[in-house]
Amino acid sequence: MSLASPTLQVAAVRARRRRSLLLTGVITALILAGAMMEFVHPVYAVVLLAAAGAAGLLLWTEPLTPAETAIAPPPAPPRSRVEPAVSAVVAALPEPALLLTPDADILVANARVALAIGPAKVGDPLSFLVRVPEVLEAVRSSAQDGIPRRVEFGERIPLDRWLEAHIVPLRLAEAPARSASGDTPKPDTVLLTFRDLTQQRRVEQMRADFVANASHELRTPLASLSGFIETLLGPARNDAAARERFLGIMGAQARRMSRLIDDLLSLSRIELNAHVRPDTQVELGMIVAHVCETLSPLARERGVEISVSRPEEPVPVLGDRDELIRLFENLVENALKYGASGKRIDVALSLSDGDALVAVTDFGPGIPSEHLPRLTERFYRVDVVASRDQGGTGLGLAIVKHIVARHRGKLTIESQPGAGATFTTRIETLAKVEKAD
């Protein structure tokens, strides 16, 4: 099979014809000159002219030799080397994927590349698209040694994100017979795919932060307890007054640790069930009234009056009774802890668009707006000392957020610094849920 393109063959034929014309012309001129100068007899001259013409004609029409046809073709445009089936497979891959030449030029790029990495042009070098030296180096090395590679890299621009590049060298063309040394044929393409690790990294980071925060929160009261035990065993051994005072502090620290463990356990239990929407029917009015009732001694202690308002008719919702009690307890307790200076707390249950709204409003110092978006993060406090003084764990609003989410509800926090804060929970009523089904 001829490797040369038709254009190349035409060029070779033309060169051949030019050569045969020149040769015939020179021989004819020599014979004519010989005849004119009487070196050649006219009869021989005619015979010689006929022979030269015949040779020229033969040369003109002779087929091309293999040497003339075996001129290497110019490099074909890259795309022509990829079978449509291969392009279709790359296009169907669920992740950004590129097929490259061994020199790292782009042969095929699927649509996800443009969305996740950038605009890829067929024929361009990969370095126009990916400027990560480790990835470019890995592509080059894999194309050389045929070994797949994996590279993780971070990007700051345009977004902070982590990606993983998978580099798999391939041999798509029919492989030539193995060489005598048994070497496997070299790859002729490289498949490069990307996986976004950002979400996974964030979860890992959150988990690490959480463990660090939880250990820190537990270590602080534990260190205090050990310190007091040492003091009681040593210098304060015979000091009855000090012993009395220290034991009081130690009791408070032990209670703090136990609250923290309770909150951590609640949080993990709620998270475990986060995807399961509660399916028991509960009456929200009763729950709200019950919570305010149980917290009334604390309210009296703090000199705060709790006023409750709710519709006359029952407000049934699908919910987990214990979790809903915990939710409103946390909100009313926070209002009592941080908003006691306002001397009043309003707890209002109302209906709006088929949803039940429970708004807990205090008239204390409020919360500066910059803290509002982060309040439901675990261990986030506006004022750590104030929270600890109030026996806070920093987990109350994180628990609230998870309970609301499990009930497919919504939590909004509004506050005017100096004028108090309102925490509103919105949960679909049973009637709305049934209508939607």
Nearer to ligand ADP, 169 or 364 (CB): 364
Residue 394 in the binding site for ligand ADP (CB under 6 A)? yes
* Contact yes or no for 338/303 (Cβ under 8 A): no
Determine the interface stretch with ligand ADP among 129-137, 280-288, 330-338, 348-356 (rule: CB under 6 A).
330-338
In the complex, least distance from residue 412 CB atom to ligand ADP, rounded to whole angstroms: 13
Residue 34 to residue 23: CA distance in whole angstroms: 17
Residue 361 in the binding site for ligand ADP (CB under 6 A)? no
What are the residues whose beta carbons fall under 8 Å from the beta carbon of 341, sequence distance 6 or more?
363, 364, 365
In the complex, least distance from residue 374 CB atom to ligand ADP, rounded to whole angstroms: 9
Chosen residue from 23, 382, 405, 433 binding ligand ADP by CB under 6 A: 382
Nearer to ligand ADP, 142 or 393 (CB): 393
Residue 108 to residue 120: CA distance in whole angstroms: 9
* Contact yes or no for 151/164 (Cβ under 8 A): yes
In the complex, least distance from residue 122 CB atom to ligand ADP, rounded to whole angstroms: 54
From residue 24, how far is each of 16, 20, 46, 281, 411 by CA, in Å? 12, 6, 14, 109, 99
Residue 342 in the binding site for ligand ADP (CB under 6 A)? no
In the complex, least distance from residue 367 CB atom to ligand ADP, rounded to whole angstroms: 5
> Which backbone phi and psi does 287 adopt, to 5 degrees?
-65, -45
Chosen residue from 256, 310, 326, 381 binding ligand ADP by CB under 6 A: 381
Residue 264 to residue 257: CA distance in whole angstroms: 11
Total number of residues binding ligand ADP (CB under 6 A)? 22
From residue 297, how far is each of 210, 293, 326, 331 by CA, in Å? 34, 8, 17, 16
Nearer to ligand ADP, 225 or 397 (CB): 397
The Cα diameter of the chain in Å comes to 151
Determine the interface stretch with ligand ADP among 42-50, 85-93, 317-325, 389-397 (rule: CB under 6 A).
389-397
Chosen residue from 264, 392, 402, 426 binding ligand ADP by CB under 6 A: 392
Residue 189 in the binding site for ligand ADP (CB under 6 A)? no
Chosen residue from 101, 224, 387, 425 binding ligand ADP by CB under 6 A: 387
In the complex, least distance from residue 398 CB atom to ligand ADP, rounded to whole angstroms: 6
Determine the interface stretch with ligand ADP among 14-22, 57-65, 104-112, 335-343 (rule: CB under 6 A).
335-343
Nearer to ligand ADP, 389 or 434 (CB): 389
Residue 107 in the binding site for ligand ADP (CB under 6 A)? no
* Contact yes or no for 121/100 (Cβ under 8 A): no
In the complex, least distance from residue 413 CB atom to ligand ADP, rounded to whole angstroms: 8
Residue 241 CB-half CA count within 13 A = 0
Residue 328 to residue 171: CA distance in whole angstroms: 64
Burial call 239-251: b when 16+ CB within 10 Å, e when fewer: eeeeeeebeeebe
In the complex, least distance from residue 362 CB atom to ligand ADP, rounded to whole angstroms: 5
DSSP 171: -
Q: Which amino acid is at 250?
A: M
Residue 327 in the binding site for ligand ADP (CB under 6 A)? no
Residue 229 to residue 239: CA distance in whole angstroms: 13
Residue 320 in the binding site for ligand ADP (CB under 6 A)? no
Chosen residue from 108, 250, 397, 427 binding ligand ADP by CB under 6 A: 397
What is the side-by-side order of every strand in the sheet holding 106-109? Answer: 106-109, 97-100, 189-196, 161-170, 149-155
In the complex, least distance from residue 241 CB atom to ligand ADP, rounded to whole angstroms: 32
DSSP 104: -
Chosen residue from 194, 228, 328, 338 binding ligand ADP by CB under 6 A: 338
Residue 144 to residue 188: CA distance in whole angstroms: 10
Residue 328 in the binding site for ligand ADP (CB under 6 A)? no
Residue 78 in the binding site for ligand ADP (CB under 6 A)? no
Residue 421 in the binding site for ligand ADP (CB under 6 A)? yes
Residue 363 in the binding site for ligand ADP (CB under 6 A)? no
Nearest 5 degrees, angle CA 292-CA 294-CA 300?
80
* Contact yes or no for 295/428 (Cβ under 8 A): no
Beta pairing, strands 305-309 & 344-352: parallel
- How many residues are recorded in the chain? 437
Chosen residue from 301, 383, 389, 434 binding ligand ADP by CB under 6 A: 383
Nearer to ligand ADP, 117 or 360 (CB): 360
Q: Tokens 């994100």 correspond to what residue? A: 161
Residue 124 to residue 130: CA distance in whole angstroms: 11
Nearer to ligand ADP, 131 or 374 (CB): 374
Q: Which residues bind ligand ADP (CB under 6 A)?
A: 330, 334-335, 338-339, 362, 364, 367, 375, 380-383, 387, 392-398, 421
